[in-house]
């Protein structure tokens, strides 16, 4: 049904772990004599100095504190942007606790976040540059035969609500699925951009709105996910037919991992009844847990995906290339969070879409 053949190759999620340098003089991360809780032992392994035995974690790539922004970009983003140019979807996540370097990795130094010519600029501005470099190269090659249209949108997910960062007045947008173009945010503003500079403008406008919202609306940016999406549409004229391809590049700054505690991560802690709203809201989770362990029947679960996982369905085990950058802080005070980030990153490698062909598992021999 579509001009773009699907691909099974490269679907699995790749994980890049980046260790930030310790910050001297800050209360939270200054460990004095206690030193560091982890060390990079090779380009794809870290050792966590847990007791009694140290633990080794391996990933697709591990970057130590001396890694440059350029090198993060070329390992993580280059390949993804190239495949976006070929009509595949791509997603880059940054994950980790607050202060572990997510924003630095994605955008660049935070006090300098409007300045995208900076040598320390992050993955997002570099991705823009590379994307438009590839587009102009393609256009040169194909002459008038090929056209590109790039559109950007920028949303924030806070408290399971979707806000359009390009429209400060918006609230409560809905996620929908289009039969041809997958998941989209209904009514989101899309800005057409023709150069990296224009894309920066959209980005920094949204970024400013995000911090305004965090002060005026009491939204905490460390508790919200920000998703910047570039839709790339290419139109190629072959004889009298137009071959149209679209793809999406999602750049995601996740909420601080320390805020992500769900009931599972909290161990056995019981969820309390909330006195307002007459809500025993955890009951559903308990029941869902019961269904999970029951037989292999394919039941209907009324509880919807979280907005973030719904939006990124295609990125998590779907037909897309996805990289997760797990940012960790090496200080031993952060041991707990670092361990949970490393564990998350390892679990992420195992993410596969559960929806496989059902029938075959019970197919009779006829």
Partner 1 sequence: AELSDHGGLDLLFCHPLPVVVPTATQAEQPHPHAGGGAGGPGGGPGGQGQQLAVLEYLLGLNHVETEELSAGEEHLSQCVSLLQEHRLSRQTVSVYTEAENQLGILWAGLGEIEKAQKYLEDAEALYNQYMREIGTAPYDPQEHFMAEEEMLSEQERHKRFEKVATQTLYYLAQVYKHLDMDEKAARYCHTTLQRQLETRDYNPVEWTINAATLSQYYISKELYMEARLCLAGATVIFEELGDVSLESAAEELAGEDAVHLHEQNLHDWLGQKKSDISRCWIKYCLFLLQDSRKLLEDDIAELDPERQDELRAQQAREEEEKERGRKKAVQFGSSETFDSILSAEEKVTCLYPVDFQSARQVFLFGQSHVLESKKFFQLDGHTRDHVEVVQDHSALFKALAFFEEDHERRCKMHKRRVDMLEAVHKELNPQYYLLVCRQLQFEIADAYYQMMMLKVTIANGLEDLDQRNIKKINHLAHAAISSYQLFLDSLRDADKQFPSELESDVLRPALFAKFRMGYLHNKIITAEPRGQLENTQNSLDCYSFVVDYCQSHEEAIAAVEMELELCTEMTGLLAARVKQLRAKLLAEP
Residues between 208 and 267 with contacts to partner 1, criterion CB under 8 A: 247, 267
- Under the binding rule (CB under 8 A), the answer on residue 309 touching partner 1 is no
d(CA 147, CA 301): 43
- Under the binding rule (CB under 8 A), the answer on residue 70 touching partner 1 is no
Given the complex with partner 1, which of 215 and 295 has the nearer CB atom? 295
d(CA 47, CA 77): 25
Total of chain residues touching partner 1, rule CB under 8 A? 79
- Under the binding rule (CB under 8 A), the answer on residue 357 touching partner 1 is yes
Instruction: For 290-341, give the DSSP string.
Output: HHHHS-S--PPP-SPPPHHHHHTTTTSSSSEEEEEEEEE--BGGGHHHHHHH
From the list 23-31, 201-209, 216-224, 355-363, the region that binds partner 1 by CB under 8 A is: 355-363
Nearest approach in angstroms of CB 7 to partner 1 is 5
Q: Return the closest-CA partner of residue 343 out of 59, 12, 22, 25.
A: 59
Do the beta carbons of residue 42 and residue 56 sit within 8 Å? no
Nearest approach in angstroms of CB 17 to partner 1 is 24
Given the complex with partner 1, which of 95 and 184 has the nearer CB atom? 184
- Under the binding rule (CB under 8 A), the answer on residue 159 touching partner 1 is yes
Residue for token pair 């995000």? 210
d(CA 188, CA 173): 8
- Under the binding rule (CB under 8 A), the answer on residue 160 touching partner 1 is yes
Given the complex with partner 1, which of 87 and 101 has the nearer CB atom? 87
- Under the binding rule (CB under 8 A), the answer on residue 278 touching partner 1 is yes
Task: Provide the 3-class DSSP secondary structure of residue 30.
Answer: coil
- Under the binding rule (CB under 8 A), the answer on residue 171 touching partner 1 is yes
Residue for token pair 């609306």? 217
Task: Provide the 3-class DSSP secondary structure of residue 344.
Answer: helix
- Under the binding rule (CB under 8 A), the answer on residue 176 touching partner 1 is yes
- Under the binding rule (CB under 8 A), the answer on residue 169 touching partner 1 is no
Q: Which helix (H) or strand (E) holds 258?
A: none
Nearest approach in angstroms of CB 47 to partner 1 is 27
Do the beta carbons of residue 155 and residue 165 sit within 8 Å? yes
From the list 22-30, 177-185, 198-206, 230-238, the region that binds partner 1 by CB under 8 A is: 177-185
- Under the binding rule (CB under 8 A), the answer on residue 356 touching partner 1 is yes
Tell which positions 83-112 bind partner 1, by CB under 8 A: 86-89
Q: Return the closest-CA partner of residue 185 out of 150, 238, 227, 148.
A: 227
Among 55, 273, 309, 347, binds partner 1 (CB under 8 A): 273
Given the complex with partner 1, which of 142 and 273 has the nearer CB atom? 273
d(CA 259, CA 117): 32
Given the complex with partner 1, which of 197 and 286 has the nearer CB atom? 286
Among 26, 34, 74, 181, binds partner 1 (CB under 8 A): 181
In terms of DSSP H, where are the helices of the chain?
Answer: 69-85, 102-106, 123-142, 196-216, 283-293, 307-311, 335-349
d(CA 163, CA 210): 9
- Under the binding rule (CB under 8 A), the answer on residue 350 touching partner 1 is no
Instruction: For 109-142, give the DSSP string.
Output: -GGGTT--SSTT--HHHHHHHHHHHHHHHHHHHH
- Under the binding rule (CB under 8 A), the answer on residue 164 touching partner 1 is no
Nearest approach in angstroms of CB 309 to partner 1 is 13
From the list 29-37, 210-218, 292-300, 326-334, the region that binds partner 1 by CB under 8 A is: 292-300
Do the beta carbons of residue 126 and residue 92 sit within 8 Å? no
Among 314, 315, 322, 345, binds partner 1 (CB under 8 A): 314
Among 197, 304, 309, 347, binds partner 1 (CB under 8 A): 304
Binding track, positions 19-58, relative to partner 1; x by CB under 8 A: ----------------------------------------
């Amino acid at each position: 049904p579509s001009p773009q053949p699907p691909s099974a190759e490269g679907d699995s999620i790749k994980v890049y772990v980046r260790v930030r340098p310790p910050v001297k003089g800050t209360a939270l991360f200054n460990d004095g004599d206690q030193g560091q809780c982890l060390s990079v032992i090779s380009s794809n392994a870290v050792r966590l100095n847990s007791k009694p035995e140290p633990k080794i974690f391996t990933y697709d790539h591990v970057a130590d504190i001396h890694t440059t922004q350029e090198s993060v970009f070329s390992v993580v983003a280059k390949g993804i942007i190239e495949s976006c140019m070929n009509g595949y979807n791509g997603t880059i996540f940054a994950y980790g606790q607050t202060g572990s370097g997510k924003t630095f990795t994605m955008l660049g130094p935070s006090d300098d976040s409007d300045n995208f010519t900076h040598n320390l600029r992050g993955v997002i501005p570099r991705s823009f540059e590379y994307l438009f470099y590839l587009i102009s190269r393609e256009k040169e090659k194909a002459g008038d035969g090929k056209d590109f249209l790039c559109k950007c949108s920028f949303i924030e997910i806070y408290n399971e609500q979707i806000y359009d960062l390009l429209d400060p007045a918006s609230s409560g947008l809905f996620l929908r699925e289009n039969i041809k173009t997958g998941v989209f945010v209904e009514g989101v503003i899309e800005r057409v951009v023709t150069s990296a500079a224009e894309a920066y403008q959209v980005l920094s406008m949204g970024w400013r709105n995000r911090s305004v919202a965090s002060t005026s609306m009491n939204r905490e940016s460390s508790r919200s996910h920000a998703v910047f999406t570039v839709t790339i549409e290419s139109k190629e004229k072959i004889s009298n037919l137009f071959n149209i391809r679209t793809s999406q590049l999602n750049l995601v700054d996740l909420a601080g991992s320390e805020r992500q505690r769900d009931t599972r991560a909290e161990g056995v802690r019981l969820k309390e009844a909330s006195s307002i709203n007459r809500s025993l809201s955890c009951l559903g989770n308990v029941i869902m847990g019961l269904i999970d362990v029951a037989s292999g029947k394919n039941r209907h679960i009324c509880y919807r995906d979280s907005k973030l996982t719904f939006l990124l369905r295609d990125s998590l085990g779907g037909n897309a290339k996805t990289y997760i950058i797990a940012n960790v802080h090496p200080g031993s005070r952060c041991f707990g969070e670092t361990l949970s980030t490393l564990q998350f990153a390892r679990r992420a490698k195992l993410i596969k879409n559960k929806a496989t062909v059902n029938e075959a598992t019970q197919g009779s021999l006829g």
